Amino acid sequence: MLEELEKLRSDLSKEIDKVSSLEVLEELRVKYLGKKGYLTTILKNMGSLSAEERPKMGKLANEIRDNLNDTINSFGERLKQEAINKRISNEYLDITIPMKDVEVGHLHPLKETIRQLEELFLDMGFKVLDGPEIETVENNFNLLNTPADHPSRDMTDTFYFDPVHLLRSQTSPVQIRAMKKYGAPIKMISAGRTFRNDEVDDTHSPMFHQIEGLVVDKDISVANLKSTIDTVLIALFGEKLDTRYRPHYFPFTEPSLEVDVTCTKCHGVGCDSCNHTGWSMELLGCGMVHPNVLRNCGIDPEVYQGFAFGMGIDRLTMVKHGVNNLRLLFDNDKKFLEQF
């Protein structure tokens, strides 16, 4: 048996030098050390040894088994390292080559303005609510006290699906939904896309963005309205801003006002950007909520008063960044957007 064990060790040493892969090495391990391998076969004859020889031979067999295992494991590590070196050589990467610049995106100027406005109004205690873009004629016109013959109801101005449904022409229907759901008092804003058949010049588009606000409570006046509007516009454009309130007409507010701001470039002095008037384009409409609108939503106008306002987010963005064509905000021109 001693001779068989020594021969086993010698045979393994000869065979292992011919191994070229880990798979073949594993086959060799099974062949010599597996349950049906050479060493197991030899050890089955241990029972034929005398009681004195058996411990000595067992000790020797264990030593040879450990030696064989060490030899195989050591050779396996060498094969693994050779494989790694080969892979490194084949997959060489020159880290000295300058990598391409990674372009990091940013918010679209419109989205940035919407977020800034929402954060401003949240700080002032307003709720941010949302509503559907496909609205009913009832919410978009009827409950907002819009007369049946008002031009905004014409198919040349509003996009209708049928006599009952349309693409909302303003975000005011969200105010109707809010008053009907929450009642009074209420303090909310809503921002989103609106749609009108309007593209007469560079400052208009059939799809545009609005943010509208509503405050209904007891003892609300025009002074509260002006204070709110001035606070928001100064936060957007800076302390040097002046506002101008002009009388206007909206069917859902009485009295109604339009608001202009001083030119952000010349600060009211007059320049080419403002046609030397000192004032930028009209930014928003506002007014005290018409009593009929409050009644339509189940609110008693003898107890509660309110003010509402609507700002064109696209126009705010144009004034804020000095953009002279509204369509530039929707063209997704990379060169244009990179400026922001």
CB 192 within 8 A of CB 133: yes
Q: What pLDDT shows up at residue 321?
A: 83
Cβ atoms within 10 Å, residue 22: 13
Q: Give which of 162, 171, 140, 158 is closest to 197, Cα–Cα.
A: 158
Evaluate whether 309 touches 232 at the Cβ level (below 8 Å): no
d(CA 201, CA 255): 29
- Helix 22-33 / helix 53-90 crossing angle, nearest 10 deg: 170
Lowest mean pLDDT: which of 81-95, 165-179, 288-302, 306-320? 81-95
| Cβ–Cβ < 8 Å for 190, 223 | no
C-alpha to C-alpha distances, 226 to 258, 265, 287, nearest whole angstrom? 11, 23, 9
Confidence of residue 166 (pLDDT cuts 50, 70, 90): very high
Segment 58-87 mean pLDDT: 75
d(CA 281, CA 326): 13
Any idea which residue has 């109004």 for tokens? 121
% residues pLDDT > 70 (the chain): 82
Model confidence pLDDT, tens digit, residues 120-149:
999 999 999 999 999 999 999 999 999 999
3-state secondary structure of 290: coil
Share of the chain above pLDDT 90, in %: 43
Give me the half-sphere count of Cα atoms (radius 13 Å) on the Cβ side of residue 191.
Answer: 23
What average pLDDT does range 22-36 have in this prediction? 70
What token pair was written down for 268?
A: 């009211």
Query: Which three-class secondary structure state does DSSP give residue 309?
Result: strand
Q: Which amino acid is at 108?
A: H
Check the annotation: does 254 bind a ligand. Answer: yes
Taking a C-beta distance cutoff of 8 angstroms, is the pair 23, 64 a contact? no
Looking at the predicted structure, is the pLDDT value of residue 36 above 80? no
Mean predicted confidence (pLDDT) in 11-39 = 68
The domain locations on the chain are: 1-91, 107-336
Question: What are the pLDDT digits (tens) for 149-164?
Answer: 999 999 889 999 999 9
Report pLDDT digits (tens) over 213-267.
999 999 999 999 999 999 998 888 877 778 899 999 999 999 999 998 888 777 7
Task: Tell me how crowded residue 113 is: count the other CB atoms within 10 A of its CB.
Answer: 24
Reported confidence tier of residue 7, pLDDT bands at 50, 70, 90? low
Which has the higher per-residue pLDDT, 25 or 246?
A: 246
Residue 1 pLDDT exceeds 80: no
Q: Let me know: does 37 contact 31? Beta carbons within 8 Å.
A: yes
Angle made by CA atoms 246, 116, 315, in degrees to the nearest 5: 40
**Whole-angstrom Cα distance, residue 208 to residue 192?**
8
d(CA 5, CA 38): 9
Which are the contacts of 44, defined by CB distance < 8 A and separation ≥ 6?
none
pLDDT of residue 33: 67
Q: Looking at per-residue confidence, does 278 or 280 come out higher?
A: 278
Topology (CATH) of 107-336:
BirA Bifunctional Protein; domain 2 (3.30.930)
When mean pLDDT is compared over 22-26, 61-65, 118-122, the highest value belongs to: 118-122
More confident residue, 188 or 240: 188
At 135 the three-state DSSP class reads strand
Alpha helix stretches (DSSP H) within the chain: 2-16, 22-33, 38-43, 53-90, 109-123, 137-140, 172-182, 222-237, 291-296, 313-321, 334-337
Q: Which neighbouring-strand residues pair with 188?
A: 127, 214
Residue the block writes with tokens 């349309």: 166
CA angle 328, 158, 170 (to 5 degrees): 70
Where residue 168 falls among pLDDT bands split at 50, 70, 90? Answer: very high
Q: Measured between alpha carbons, how far is 100 from 244 in angstroms, rounded to an integer?
A: 51
